[in-house]
Amino acid sequence: MPYQRKSSNENIVLLGLAFDHEDNHKRITTGENFYILGGSAKTHDNLAEKVMAFNKTVKTYGKKLEDISKTEFYEIVKKIDDKNKKIFWFYPSQINL
């Protein structure tokens, strides 16, 4: 059965994971509805920039992250991602927690 959100009070977060670090520095950035873990300084900063741009765009829709549809999610991704081949975005449509 596909995942269906029960209410807008659920905690939906954006999660950024990066694995290209070579300096053994542990980078963790958190925000209102996101976590970014790992990566080189450049990759980590890039992920943080993308997530903040995503959140800013969600606000222009007059919604919260947990209230946007799958279509809106991918519309926002197209607006902010610059066709980056190394970043993958997944809508949480089949997550059972």
Q: pLDDT tens for residues 30-89? A: 998 999 999 999 999 999 999 999 999 999 999 999 999 999 999 999 888 867 667 788
Q: Would you state the pLDDT for residue 75?
A: 92
Q: Would you state the pLDDT for residue 10?
A: 64
Helix (H, G, I), strand (E, B) or coil at 28: strand
CA distance 59 to 76: 11
Q: Would you state the pLDDT for residue 9?
A: 52
Task: At 53, list the tokens.
Answer: 């741009």
CA distance 40 to 37: 10
Task: At 31, list the tokens.
Answer: 């925000």
No. of helices (H) and no. of strands (E), the chain: 2, 3
Residue 94 has pLDDT above 70, yes or no: no
Neighbours of 90 (CB within 10 A): 11
